[in-house]
Structure 1
Amino acid sequence: MDSSFSRYQNLAENDRKINNMLANKQAQDFEMSSVSVVPDETYTVAQAVDAFGFGKFQVKLSLFTGLCWMADSMEMTILSILAPTLHYEWQITRYQQALATTVVFLGMMLSSPFWGSFSDKFGRKPALTLCSVLLFYFGILSSMSPNYTWLLILRGLVGFAIGCSPQSVTLYAEFLPCKQRAKCVVLLDCFWTLGACFEVVLALIVMPTLGWKWLLILSTAPLLGFACVCPWLPESARYLVASGQTDKAIDVLKKVAYDNDKPMLLGKLVVDDVVLEEKRGRFSDLLLPQLRLTSILLWFIWLVCAFCYYGIVLMSTELFESGNNNKICLPSMENEIFKTVQTCTAESRYLTTRDYIDLLWTTLAEFPGIFATIFIIDRFGRKITMVVQFLIFAISLSFLFHCAKNRALLTIALFFARGIIAGVFQAVYVYTPEVYPTPLRSIGVGTCSAMARLGAMVTPYIAQVLLKSSIATSMAIYISAALLAAFASLLLPIETKGREMKEHVSKN
């Protein structure tokens, strides 16, 4: 009996062990069905983002960052609408009118290093949150400016806050899979164009009844909206890992996986080896022998892009405004530059409904420009795209010599010019991060952006001041700049189409 009972116990114990093994195996199979395994048992943020793909998380982030980009665009578009009104209401000179535009770009240029350092130290989310609050605050205050001096100060502070807006694109790009990154970054520019169109429509409704001060107030609405959604913005997982906050980075990646209905990766989250092995690039590294020509050419191309793009934006209202005047405005020789200097006998001194409608048409041109760039940039390459678009832009401007007095032809020429220069700007945005290696990519794009601000600071004196005295001279300057930029694009030594992004700085 004892022997039989012992055998029964042994058999029962074996059955229990087998059942436990089967249960453990089922549990493991269940976990494996909801978690992807990385063979090395480690993974980087880049691997995780590529594994999760483009999904619901990126769609929501597109809307959030797009709202910031839209608010930035509206503040820029205000410059072309506000200047003619202030010229007549406050009797400011053309140089003062141009200075009101330049001071915004000056604030942007000076603040770029500050916001870059702030976001690297405290994160993208705190930087964007503070930026939206400051931009909303200074935007409201600028509407209460009692005089021209205060307007300059407050619009300069608006420009300082706007300098952080590119961080929204940085945050967006850091959550994009490699294959979708270029197209998604280009498509994000649709929010910029949408903001510009919305600003023109808002001006059409507000300016004739409430005036420019209410336009400044109502234009801050998207900023208020973005400030409200900032608590839901995710922090960059790349920043969190680089700053040693691995647990928070994993939580963010789990959120991405959940929203995109993808399994979370198993293993340990590590920092990319390249980041650990190589020091962050310095400005002098951009002038290494193998990068010197590329950097110099790109600085010039970015400068011309901003010079021509904002030139078209500003000259559009100037040309439409000139078309309303029955007589030419002549400068008074007896006044100083920063006092009232122009007399005009025209009956219409403000932009009319037709002006705003034509301005809206020229702004809408950016949509086909963006989509055309997306279509051709992967087929013909980045360099050829920039060369051809600069040449077409120059041709479009040449028509302005002959159609400045014909309203329909003027609108068509501005339409093509605005669409083309918007497209070439996006091509440059795609090319620049691709051509620089990872340790130099951030500083490379940053220096190019600074050169763009410099071009934007100069263009008001051509598009708003010189244009009033000589359309031919101002157009010749823009055409010459575009032709030189086309030649510079042709001289770029590297074509990045189909080329993987470099992770190391070549020592050759």
Structure 2
Amino acid sequence: MLRRISLIMYFNWLTCTLVYYGISLNSANFNMDPFLYMFLGGLMELPSYTLIIPFVARYGRKIPLVTFFVLCGVAILVLLLLPADRERWWFMTIVMVGKFFITSAYQVVYLYSSELYPTCLRTQGLGVSSMVGRIGSIISPFINDMLGLYHWAIPSTIFGLASLVAGGLTCLLPETKDKTLPDTVDDVEAWRSPALSKRERPRDVAASEEDQREESWLNPSTTSV
């Protein structure tokens, strides 16, 4: 479970930074005024920082994150189906919708990561996830500049598909809303299905239960005669 959480969150962080900075720096491929593009992109972040708060508080972390990833991917891929005229207002609108959803996902992934990792590994897990995410911010300009020379839609296709894959992988993670934060790795492994048999449970958990039964047999409680 901890391995699954780590690998999926690494990809989610990489996708967030890749798509966020990819959209933010993609005005050249969209044939838009870079100053207006950056202004609207920054303006779009204000509602994405605030409107997600009640949504996350009500529906948890998993469902909103999946929703934001999928809607972002759909919005970006819809651009490929529109007419070639990229200077229209509706083209800019759809791009800003994608920017809104990936910014919202960026906010949720911070909270979700800190709640998925146990206390003993929370700092390390969040730090490594953020470090892996910086890879996306490093390669996003190269995707826009180098691949965009061949066709303007190639970067958008990469960003859209990455968002859809991240949304699908997030479905494999547990929900953390209204749950006690895990303190140890054993607490994280306990999130597995309770219907698992004893031989399928983590080896250290089964050994701990066996030790407790042996201790209770060697040291029976004293009763009055």
Q: TM-score, normalised by structure 2?
A: 0.77
Aligned residue number for residue 459 of structure 1: 140
Describe how 1:114-153 pairs up with structure 2 within 5 A. none
Describe how 1:119-268 pairs up with structure 2 within 5 A. none
Residue 314 of structure 1 contacts residue 464 of structure 1 at CA under 8 Å; is this kept in 2?
Answer: no
Aligned residue number for residue 396 of structure 1: 75
Describe how 1:282-431 pairs up with structure 2 within 5 A. 290-316=1-27, 318-319=28-29, 322-323=31-32, 355-401=34-80, 402=82, 405-431=86-112
Q: What displacement does 1:366 show?
A: 1.0
Residue 373 of structure 1 contacts residue 423 of structure 1 at CA under 8 Å; is this kept in 2?
Answer: yes
Radius of gyration: which is bigger? 1
Q: What displacement does 1:415 show?
A: 1.3
| 2:196 corresponds to 1:485 | no
CA distance change for structure 1 residues 357 and 472 in 2, over 3 Å: closer, same or farther? closer
| 2:179 corresponds to 1:499 | yes
Residue 363 of structure 1 contacts residue 415 of structure 1 at CA under 8 Å; is this kept in 2?
Answer: no
- What is the Cα-based RMSD across aligned positions, in Å? 1.7
Equivalent AA in structure 2 for residue 308 of structure 1: V
Q: What displacement does 1:472 show?
A: 2.3
Q: What displacement does 1:501 show?
A: 1.6
Equivalent AA in structure 2 for residue 479 of structure 1: G
Residue 312 of structure 1 contacts residue 418 of structure 1 at CA under 8 Å; is this kept in 2?
Answer: yes
Q: Distance in 2 between matches of 1:375 and 1:467?
A: 38
Relative CO higher for 1 or 2, CA cutoff 8 Å, sep ≥ 6? 2
Q: What is the number of equivalent residue pairs in this alignment?
A: 186
Q: Distance in 1 between matches of 2:141 and 2:34?
A: 20
Q: Distance in 1 between matches of 2:105 and 2:42?
A: 15
SS at match of 1:491: coil
Unaligned runs of 5+ in 2: 187-203, 206-225
Paired-residue identity, %? 31
The C-alpha deviation readout for 1:138-166, integer Å capped at 9, x for no partner, is xxxxxxxxxxxxxxxxxxxxxxxxxxxxx
Aligned residue number for residue 166 of structure 1: none
SS at match of 2:149: helix
Q: TM-score, normalised by structure 1?
A: 0.35
Q: Distance in 1 between matches of 2:13 and 2:2?
A: 16
After superposing on structure 2, the runs of 4+ consecutive aligned residues of structure 1 that deviate more than 4 Å are none
Describe how 1:35-114 pairs up with structure 2 within 5 A. none
